Amino acid sequence: MLDSVRQYLQDWSDACEYANECAPDLSIFGNGEPFTALLFIAAACWLAWAFNEARIHRRADAAAGVAGSAQNELMTVVEQMKTGAGAPEKLAA
């Protein structure tokens, strides 16, 4: 089996050298070369943008959650201070 694979690859290499075309056949994508490249670049940029936006929103949500819990703790402390005694009580001598 290994010999048949070696023979296939050798035949393919010889055919490529003879035809001077070693690139795979990509004719199914059409022949609009500059537009295909521009479309690929636009798709890559959009994917990078979408990934970054998702990360920004996740970080903002996490920061809002931490800030919200800290604010709740602060309000609890303020309420405890309000309900506490205004002035220290004097003790009998």
Q: What is the 3-state secondary structure (H, E, C) of 75-91?
A: HHHHHHHHHCCCCCCCC
DSSP 8-state class, residue 28: G
What's the whole-number mean pLDDT along residues 24-49? 80
- Spell out the domain ranges in the chain: 33-81
- Give the least confident one: 32-41, 63-72, 77-86: 63-72
Q: Does the pTM of the predicted model rise above 0.85? A: no
pLDDT band at 51 (very low <50, low <70, confident <90, very high): very high
Residue 89 has pLDDT above 80, yes or no: no
Residue 47 has pLDDT above 90, yes or no: yes
